[in-house]
Amino acid sequence: MSLQLSSAQTQLSATFQSQADRTTRYLVKCRAQAYAERPVDLDAIATGLSGAAPETLIAVGADLLRIEARTPKRWFGFGSETAALNARALMLLGRTLRRFGAPRKLVRPVQPSE
């Protein structure tokens, strides 16, 4: 037996999903900026990442994301969101450094949205 959702419930669900996507993108960007400001923090993810090439950052981030996808999920308390955000931020930082020739100071101040 399938559960029929009303159009209001469907719209509310879509709104929540849209907001969750925006929040995730914001958190990944902020984390990538923090890693760009303090590359030594990358060593907490894996030793030696603070001096790694952008291609290495992307590859390690992709591997961490694949591992995270295979990890069993818990449906109570805190899950594995932090590891996935770190992996995505690592990949974003690597792609950004590769695109702009790997300067270490790419960070602009985050402007609060009004």
For residue 95, is it within any domain? no
The predicted model gives 92-96 an average pLDDT of 95
- Predicted TM-score (pTM) of this structure: 0.74
The count of domains in the chain is: 1
Q: Are 31 and 87 in contact (CB under 8 A)?
A: no
Range with top average pLDDT, 8-12, 25-29, 45-49:
25-29
In a domain, 113, yes or no: no
93 falls within a domain = no
Flag whether 94 is in a domain. Answer: no
**pLDDT for position 1:** 43
- DSSP-assigned letters across all residues of 7-75: HHHHHHHHHHHHHHHHHHHHHHHHHHHHHHH-GGGGGGTSTTGGG--HHHHHHHHHHHHHHHHHSPPPS
| Residue 76 domain boundaries | 10-87
